[in-house]
Chains A and B, each alone.
Chain A
Amino acid sequence: MSIRRFALAMAALAAPLVLAGVPANAQEKSVAVTAIVEHPALDAVRDGVRDELEAQGYVPGENLAFTYETAQGNPAIASQIARQFAGENHDVIVPISTPSAQAVLSATDAVPVVFSAVTDPVAARLVGDPDNPKGRVTGVSDLSPVKRQLELIREVMPEAKTVGVLYNPGEANSVKILELLKQYGPEYDFNIVESVSPKSSGVLSATRNLVGKADAVYIPTDNTIISALESAIKVGMDNDLPIFAADTASVPRGAAMALGFDYYDLGRQTGRIVVRILEGEAPSEIPVESVQKTQLAVNPASAKRMGLEIPQAVMDRADEVVEE
């Protein structure tokens, strides 16, 4: 028997063992994803979930039925989608964003739910205790690491006294972050001042409103503000007012720096929980996770135009340096 034949024979013998090792692949599983609106960050979460499932052997179209629906910004449609999913035999439903998760939860009381990109799952009444979810619901929260962000601003601006926050009071996420900023601000000797803009067209004047009142501007993961980020950056550059973002995607667009996470990674992290449930774990045994992987992105040229010199120590540990 030649070596090649021997190897083939062994491979043939091993094949059933390998297959037995992943019994989940033997039958088709079904995962349904829904988001309140199509939006780059939320779409990235969905892609992350799908890619993670695929990486772990659940290939959409082969051994996995993967469904996705968007409510196009309309909560009534979100609840119709939720009922549609409730009536189909899914193994896991993944709602992205708070209203979608609430709609799914009220539509079904049987299917495991893994939410994603929900800022405050306790306030949204998705879980009682995030460390011990008890029911059939768990997931990943997209709450920004506010403390570490404040720490970073303190590190690069040792003299700063006041941090201005630009946000839309209609976004639950931003309201929660503002609350945390006010809670932790004093720990880092920061005064927090707010400036609101309920529409992207108001971002310019909301930023101007902070000139003279704040030494730095913090932009939370706020859809309204981020959609008009350039107007805030322009004001920052014209007035030596450094703009800090909470998402790294804002840095190539001109924010001085961001300590945040990538929504795609958030999706991958969510996907890992989905896989655990597909393989038999109960959602009640999986604590709600917060973002694991954070990234530091800096834009030295932009920072300079906002009157900020980024210290070498920060430059050295940046994951991403945007060159102009």
Chain B
Amino acid sequence: MSLVAALGALEIGLVYGLVAIGVFISFRVLNFPDLTVDGSFPLGAAVAAAGILGGIDPYLATLLAVVAGGLSGLVTAFLNIRFGILHLLASILTMTALYSINLRVMGKPNLAIIMEPTVISPFELFGLSGGTIKPIFGFVVVALVGALVAWYLLTDSGLGMRAAGANPRMARAQGVPTAAMTYFGMALSNALVGLAGALFAQMNGFADITMGTGTIVVGLAAVIAGEAILRPKGVVMAVVACIVGSVIYRFAVQFALNAEFIGMNPGDLNLLTAVLVTIALILPGARNPVKALMKKRGQGAPS
């Protein structure tokens, strides 16, 4: 694997780390399986790209993308809470609607912003190549966002959100407004995904209507792989695990792309990626029986 490819995997892993944190909030914290992300990721890309092409400052365009993502999360939460539509179904409805909305926003299925100014443009003056700036930029953004999310989850309000997801009835009994927490959490989750979409579009020079396909799978794989490897106990480590998991996922893909030497063909990419992620899931678990065995022996031995 070349340095360029490794930096590329790192960069895309970091950007998708935002998706992973978003999925972590909906899936793990709120216990709300949310497929909206397949629509809010391209929505973020679409809003940012259309905004930049419309002459808006890239930072403002990115902010608009975050807001748009957040609104789409609110819609899903609204369908679920107000009308009692099953969360999975509510999110599928929003995702389906977003396809048309994204087409409307872009005006056509593909928008190119290769030559346009982006959020990264101001940093290109430092004499670093694009391939180096992008991962650094991605790292700074995901670290900042991760820190903010972790900080929030540690506040009283964040504790309330975690309680609302873990045991809504108990949370309500303790005076936590569970509906408000779900609205806020879903908005936050999809706002982060929208941000990821906006950054991905700017770092890669285009927004495409097909961009969202499989975002939820990638996000979930990152969350689960990160958890399996880091075994986080607290909130901070859980957020870190999302980012680490996302980067690991991208390196798995990169490895799969280089796997011709073991007789793989390009069509096997998804299969190999799935196998590598599965191995990442199994490995830490596989260590456990051994650990358990050691413990048992330790206890059994006469002291």
A99, B12: Cβ atoms closer than 8 Å: no
Report whether A102 and B267 are in contact in the complex, using a CB–CB cutoff of 8 Å: no
Chain B residues with CB under 8 A of A109: 130
Contacting residues of chain A (117-139) with chain B, CB-CB under 8 angstroms: 123-126
B251 CB → nearest A CB, Å: 10
B209 touches A123 (CB 8 A): no
On whether the beta carbons of B258 and A172 are closer than 8 Å, the reply is no
Known contacts A69-B266, A79-B12, A169-B109; is-contact A84 B204 (Cβ 8 Å): no
Docked pose: A125 CA to B205 CA in angstroms: 9
How many pairs, one residue from A and one from B, have CB atoms within 8 Å of each other in the complex? 126
Whole-angstrom CA separation of A124 from B114 in the bound complex: 9
- Measured CB to CB, the nearest residue on chain B to A76 is B12
Q: Is the pair A87, B218 in contact by a Cβ cutoff of 8 Å?
A: no
Asked if B81 is at the interface (CB within 8 A of a chain A CB), the reply is: no
Contact of B204 with A80 in the complex, beta carbons under 8 Å: no
Decide: A80 and B5 in contact? CB cutoff 8 A. yes
A contact residues around B1 at 8 Å (CB) = 84, 87
A75–B210 touching, CB < 8 Å: yes
CB atoms of B204 and A172 under 8 A apart: no
Question: Which residues of B (239-293) have their CB < 8 Å from a CB of A?
Answer: 250, 253-254, 257-258, 266-267, 269-270
Q: Which residues of A contact B6 (CB under 8 A)?
A: 87
Contact A74 B250 (CB under 8 A): no
Which B residues lie within 8 Å of A102 (CB)? 110, 112, 114, 204-206, 208
Q: Given A80-B257, A81-B257, are A87 and B112 neighbors across the interface (CB < 8 Å)?
A: no
Given contacts A75-B208, A169-B103, are A99 and B110 in contact (CB under 8 A)? yes
B233 contacts partner chain A, Cβ-Cβ < 8 Å: no
Contacts of A126 in B (CB 8 A): 112
Contact A172 B213 (CB under 8 A): no
Is A171 engaged at the interface, CB distance under 8 Å to the other chain?
yes
How many residues belonging to B are interface residues under a CB distance threshold of 8 Å? 43
- Report yes or no: A79 in contact with B8, Cβ–Cβ below 8 A: yes
Q: Is B27 engaged at the interface, CB distance under 8 Å to the other chain?
A: no
Which residues of A, 55-70, contact B by the 8 Å Cβ criterion?
Answer: 68-70
- Taking the closest CB of chain B, its distance from the CB of A39, in whole angstroms, is 11
- B208 contact from A99, A107, A175, A198, Cβ within 8 A: A99
Q: Return B222 CB to nearest CB of chain A, in Å.
A: 12
Chain B positions within 8 Å of A99 at CB level: 110, 206, 208, 210
- The B203-250 residues at the A interface (CB cut-off 8 A) are 203-206, 208-211, 213-214, 218, 250
The listed residue (B9, B204, B267) touching A75 by CB distance below 8 A is B204
The 9 closest A-B pairs by CB, nearest first: A83-B8, A87-B2, A87-B4, A125-B112, A106-B205, A102-B206, A84-B5, A172-B109, A87-B5
- Would you give 7 A-B contacts (Cβ < 8 Å), ordered by A? A69-B257, A77-B269, A123-B112, A125-B113, A170-B209, A172-B109, A175-B109
19 additional A-B residue pairs with CB within 8 Å, beyond A76-B218, A86-B4: A70-B269, A76-B12, A80-B250, A80-B253, A84-B1, A84-B5, A84-B254, A84-B258, A86-B5, A87-B3, A87-B5, A98-B206, A102-B204, A102-B205, A106-B130, A107-B131, A123-B110, A126-B112, A170-B99
Which B residues are within 8 Å of any A CB, using their own CB? 1-9, 12, 16, 99, 103, 108-110, 112-115, 130-131, 200, 203-206, 208-211, 213-214, 218, 250, 253-254, 257-258, 266-267, 269-270
